[in-house]
Structure 1
Amino acid sequence: MPANPSQTSVASRPPSAPLPDFCSLPVLFALLVVGALTVSLMWLAPGGTGTLRDYCIAVLFTSWLSILLTVALCKLRTGMQRLPGLLPYAAVWLLLVATVGLSAGVMGWIDRSLVFGITPSPTFRFVRDSMLATGLLGAGLLRYFYVVAQWQARVAAEAQAQVAALQARIRPHFLFNSMNAVAALIRVDPDAAERTVENLAELFRAALGSDTESVGTLGDEWSLVDRYLEIESLRLGHRLRVERDIDVPPGLPMPRMLLQPLVENAIRHGVQPSRSGGTIRLGGRRVPGGVEIVVDNPIADGAPTPGTGHGLRNVRERVRFHYGERASVRVDTGADRFIVTVFLPESANARPDRR
């Protein structure tokens, strides 16, 4: 069946280059700084005849232009982003030059009408020089924004691939042991077998869920941890003991399956190798600037169970990706305890574009 011509044209259209978030304060700050630096360099250049009054007026003019351009770009970003290829950046450049030229013309006309003497004469030269300077500076600034956007896109793609790999990582022997436990419980305790199947379903739904479900809450994460512990308690019995001391807001945004790998490592390396088992301590408390979540497990006697550190490393990367550099994952090893402390800044939320 022949393809729809409209679908073919859409499929062949090059993807749109991502524009920066013009509604953010860093963009406004960048425009303000570039404008002020440009005026300062022109005023300090050899041969300049401008006075301090002229310099202050020029700084005020560029600052007002920066705010005007930021508002215009913020409002028009969605429409320009629909353009294919690099046309969004071309549209932004044209908007910059046109807005500055129009503003310079209006300012020159007002100055000539009121005889303030604050703009160079003639007005045409003032408008032309303003547009040329904006065109050159705008091209350099947009090139910087484009490089930053491409770098952020690559970082996001790599982080998303790592998140997907971690979410898809369920240890096969954990699945086999759980299914064996279900098979053994079917005749002895059908209700427990049913609960185990439901817990497994929830764990797999979280681990293999879609990208739109990759960010949940701390309360959801504790619920997944409880389901995981209930499954493991069927296998380890009285050897697995859990103590909880949790006082943190359950609505805190958190990536799915972030705490479960830490609890899994605690059981695998701290409780499972010991004949007598051990106690896992789960803690959470408010601290200045955010919350701390603690997973504390015993260190088994004898040779430790070999591990790759993949789970802990991925937890670190996901925490940094979702919450920024303020978040951290700290590991402390005492005489007989292995403690992992996750600090999450309360003011930093898991953004939708960080999934």
Structure 2
Amino acid sequence: MPPRRPANPNPLPDFCSLPVLFALLIVAALTVTVMWLAPDSSRGWRGYSMGMLFAQWMALVIGVGLCKLRPALDRLPGRWPYGTVWLLMVLVVAMASGMAAWMNTALDMSLIGSGATVFVRDNTIIAALLGAAMLRYFYVVAQWQARLAAVAHAQVEALQARIRPHFLFNSMNTVAALVRVDPDAAERTVEDLSELFRAALGQHDSHDGTLADEWHLVDRYLAIEHLRLGDRLRVERDLDALPGDFPLPRLLLQPLVENAVRHGIQPSRTGGDVFLRGRRGKGHIEIEIDNPLPEAPSNGGTGHGLTNVRQRVALRYGPRAQVNAGPRGDRFVVQLILPEQTDARTDR
């Protein structure tokens, strides 16, 4: 597999997005308005209307042109993308101003009173100054967003590193007990443990996994616990409605399933049922992990697992995501509501 090309540290703004295009239109409109309101301006409403039409047309042409050229511009090294964008903006305005001046003379519209040369010169200077200012603003915003993404990524990595599944210690004892009694089961348990260790240690090329990958790890974990708890652990799944390729931080669900087994099944002599449910809503998915409440109060945990999940969900999916947890009758339910963001960045 060929090595991935490192991302440009100075990415251009998305000129295809509505906020960037709207900013270009607003700056163009404000420029024409300020020039029209200047004390020495001799332009009337007719001149203002034509100037506004020309400026908005220029903003649209520049925005659409940069939208189409952005993939090629992003391949330039260093800060060349910004310099090339600035040069293109100035050239487009200069050429369009020259064409407008020629049409004004050819059609004798008398819209330009200062002469064609002055008109082209002034528009080019204004485009150069405003283009430099806007690109500087976009550059600062891009750097600020990159720093926020780096901080969020570091926080997620720190939270990921704090995951230390308690079941690993019990599982090693299970393996030791099975080596002589059932070598095949011991071998399967070691394989399951290796998968879980690999996920816990973060030995992956990308930060995010998929929902299908996470359910696979959960199944590995439950297979180990079945060896330890036997028929006391019963699992019911209703997950067919969930998209398997949904991006999900690794080991997000396993700690919740572990808590369900540790606090809902393990303290009970008769065991119980753990329900794993999922459904797809409008623009989001819902996942529920449901376990029985123990008859007698169990030794309370530190709450680290649930807190860890809350923080990672907030960092990865933003304020639209929810993690709700609490008793419902004689059961304890953890509900995750995760927005479907097909274009979400995985470094956040």
TM range (shorter): 0.7 to 0.9
- Report the alpha carbon displacement of residue 281 of structure 1 after superposing the two structures with TM: 1.8
2:225 aligned residue (217, 232, 247): 232
Q: 1:320/1:308 Cα in 2 relative to 1: closer, same or farther (>3 Å)? A: closer
2:285 aligned with 1:291:
yes
Question: Who is 2:123 aligned against?
Answer: 130
Structure 1 residue corresponding to 2:258, chosen from 264, 285, 293: 264
Q: 1:117 aligns to what? A: 110
User: In 2 relative to 1, CA 102–170 (structure 1 residues): closer, same or farther, beyond 3 Å?
Assistant: same
Partner Cα separation in structure 2 for residue 203 and residue 119 of structure 1: 73
Matched, 1:174 2:171: no
AA aligned opposite 1:39: V
Alpha-carbon distance, 1:283 to partner: 0.8
State the partner residue of 2:88. 95
Question: Number of residues paired by the alignment?
Answer: 338
Instruction: Please state how far the C-alpha of 1:320 moved relative to its aligned partner.
Output: 4.1
Separation in structure 1 between the aligned mates of residue 111 and residue 120 of structure 2, nearest angstrom: 14
Give the aligned residue type for 1:151. W
CA separation of 1:349 and 1:323: change in aligned 2, threshold 3 A: farther
Q: What is the rounded CA distance, in whole Å, between the counterparts of 2:113 and 2:311 in structure 1?
A: 55
Distance 1:286 1:80 in 2: 36
Matched with 1:65 is: 58
Match of 2:3?
A: none
Relative to structure 1, the CA distance from residue 83 to residue 303 in structure 2 (aligned partners, 3 Å threshold; closer, same or farther) is: same
Correspondences of 1:132-211 after superposition (within 5 Å)? 132-171=125-164, 173-210=166-203
Kept in 2: contact 1:111–1:119 (CA 8 A): yes
Cα distance, 1:252–1:37 mapped onto 2, change above 3 Å: farther
Q: Secondary structure of the residue that 2:323 maps to in structure 1?
A: strand
Q: CA deviation at 1:145?
A: 1.5
- For 2:290, what is the secondary structure of its paired residue? strand
Corresponding residue for 1:9? none
Offset of residue 87 of structure 1 = 4.8
C-alpha offsets along residues 230-278 of structure 1, whole Å, 9 cap, x if unaligned? 1122223333332222242333422232222221232334333445444
Q: Matched residues, percent identical?
A: 56
Match of 1:343 among 330, 337, 342: 337
Q: Which runs of 5+ in 2 are unaligned?
A: 1-7
Q: 1:32 aligns with which of 25, 32, 51?
A: 25
Q: Is the 8 A contact 2:165 2:255 kept in 1?
A: no
In structure 2, the residue corresponding to 1:212 is in which secondary structure? coil
How far off its partner does 1:284 sit?
A: 0.6
Deviation (angstroms), 1:294: 1.0
Asked if the contact 2:15/2:70 (under 8 Å) is kept, the reply is no
Task: Sort the Cα spacing of 1:16 and 1:285 in 2 relative to 1 into closer, same or farther, 3 A.
Answer: closer
Partner of 1:302: 297
Q: Which amino acid in 2 is paired with 1:236?
A: L
Q: Residues 304 and 107 of structure 1: is their aligned pair in 2 closer, same or farther, counting only changes over 3 Å?
A: farther
Relative to structure 1, the CA distance from residue 115 to residue 329 in structure 2 (aligned partners, 3 Å threshold; closer, same or farther) is: farther
Q: 2: distance between equivalents of 1:229 and 1:198?
A: 13
Which residue in 2 is equivalent to 1:18? Answer: 11
Does the aligned pair in 2 maintain the 1:273–1:305 contact within 8 Å?
A: no
Mapped partners of 1:120, 1:233: distance in 2: 87
Cα gap change, 1:314/1:238 in structure 2, threshold over 3 Å: closer, same or farther?
Answer: same
For structure 1, list consecutive stretches of 5 or more residues without a partner in the other structure.
1-14
Runs of 4+ in 1 over 6 A off after TM superposition: none
Is the CA contact (8 Å cut-off) linking 2:267 and 2:298 kept in structure 1?
Answer: no
One-letter amino acid of the counterpart of residue 302, structure 2:
G
TM-score of the aligned structures, taking structure 1 as reference length: 0.81
**Equivalent residue number for residue 254 of structure 1:** 247
* CA separation of 1:213 and 1:16: change in aligned 2, threshold 3 A: closer
- Note the alpha carbon deviations across 1:44-103, whole angstroms, 9 max, x for none: 55564444443333333223222322244341564466333x554344333323332232
Q: How does 1:318-329 map to 2 (within 5 A)?
A: 318-329=312-323
What amino acid is aligned across from residue 297 of structure 1 in structure 2?
Answer: N
Instruction: Give the AA of the match of 2:150.
Output: A
For residues 291 and 177 of structure 1, the distance between their equivalents in structure 2, rounded to whole angstroms, comes to: 33
1:274 to 1:149, Cα distance in 2 relative to 1, 3 A:
farther
Q: Kindly indicate whether the alpha-carbon contact (under 8 Å) linking 2:207 and 2:346 is maintained by their aligned counterparts in 1.
A: no
Q: Is the 8 A contact 1:296 1:338 kept in 2?
A: yes
